[in-house]
Structure 1
Amino acid sequence: MKIAVYPGSFDPVTNGHLDIIARGAKVFDEVIVVVLVNVDKKGLFKIDERVELIKRVTKDYPNVKVQSFNGLLVDFMRQKKATVILKGLRAVSDFEYEFQMALMNNKLDPEVETLFMMTNAEYSYLSSSAVKQVAKFGGCIRGLVPDEIIVDIISRIKGE
């Protein structure tokens, strides 16, 4: 069984993320979306809330699982017997950072390969940070995130 792990902070999950998840689910037997704890960022949503939001929007993908993890990604990979890290790239500017991370992960575990998947051009400008900023200033986030979680995002931004 070929298992891919799609790591990220997903705060919140966007349609760009969902595009990579859906396409990855066609390529791999199983895709594990792993919400990683980023100690450098204070999130809009708590880790367990992000996991639940992603589960809600991926419920129609039977080969997609969602979990959280705090630690080195390669340790998570070993636990799950996964050998492929799936990463979405929006633009060339993403590549430099992701390339460094791929080399580091491969150094930590030579059995781990990183597969870069270009996002659909429709989402090439999209990021979780941009979504939060648009929502914060009252802009429309429809089409940027799955419809099922729009209310969750707006409510959280408004502090409800």
Structure 2
Amino acid sequence: MRIGLYPGTFDPVTLGHTDIIRRACALVDRLVIGVAINRDKGPLFTLEERVAMVEAECAKLAEETGTEIVAHPFENLLIDCAHDVGAQIIVRGLRAVTDFEYEYQMVGMNRAMDASVETVFLMAEAKYQAIASKLVKEIARLDGDISKFVSPEVRVQLLERLGKG
């Protein structure tokens, strides 16, 4: 069984994330969505809320693709999380050249720790390349329309969290 790990903070999960998840499902039998605790980023949503959002969004994708998709919170090294869930593949989404520079360094470090875990990069679809959770939150804070960036369910949760729902 090919197991992939797609890590991120998912604060909140965007259509860009779900695009990568959908496409990663074609590469693996089981996809683990590693929801990073990442206290340094100061997430808007709690870990439990982010896991629940990811699970809700992925339930539809699992049904459509026939791939088992599970959310897994983690706070350790990415390579250790890959070991914990039995992943042979780490899936990373790329939006721009600046993403690649950071990801290139990350791959080098992960390979130095365990060369048996492969990293696969998936380019975001063009219509999703500008989407970043940080920007979606800022647009929502300033009363902009975020319906092109997140699902209707995530939109409601985000607006409620910001006191705009």
Matches of 1:120 and 1:63 in 2, distance apart? 23
Q: Deviations over 1:82-134 (max 9, x none)?
A: 11100000011110001111111111111111100000000011100110000
Partner-residue secondary structure (3-state), 2:59: coil
State the Cα distance separating 1:159 from its structure 2 match: 7.8
State the Cα distance separating 1:73 from its structure 2 match: 1.3
Q: Give, as a single letter, the amino acid of the residue that structure 1 aligns with 2:133.
A: S
State the Cα distance separating 1:36 from its structure 2 match: 1.0
Aligned to 1:111: 116
Aligned to 2:44: 44
Aligned to 2:139: 134
Matches of 1:147 and 1:135 in 2, distance apart? 13
Partner-residue secondary structure (3-state), 1:26: coil
Matches of 1:48 and 1:103 in 2, distance apart? 31
State the Cα distance separating 1:40 from its structure 2 match: 1.7
Matches of 1:145 and 1:159 in 2, distance apart? 16
State, as a whole percentage, how many aligned pairs show the same letter: 40
Matches of 2:103 and 2:162 in 1, distance apart? 29
Matches of 2:160 and 2:100 in 1, distance apart? 33
Q: Let me know the Cα RMSD of the aligned residues.
A: 1.3
Aligned partner (choices 124, 133, 138) of residue 129 of structure 2:
124
Moved over 3 A (4+): none
State the Cα distance separating 1:152 from its structure 2 match: 0.4
Is 93-102 or 72-81 further displaced after alignment? 72-81
Is 126-135 or 59-68 further displaced after alignment? 59-68
TM-score by length of 2: 0.93
Aligned to 1:7: 7
Q: Give, as a single letter, the amino acid of the residue that structure 2 aligns with 1:82.
A: A
Aligned to 1:85: 90
Aligned residues: 160
Give unpaired runs (5+ residues) of structure 1. none
State the Cα distance separating 1:6 from its structure 2 match: 0.1
Partner-residue secondary structure (3-state), 1:86: strand
Give unpaired runs (5+ residues) of structure 2. none
Q: Deviations over 1:23-72 (max 9, x none)?
A: 11122111100111223210000111100001111112151111101111
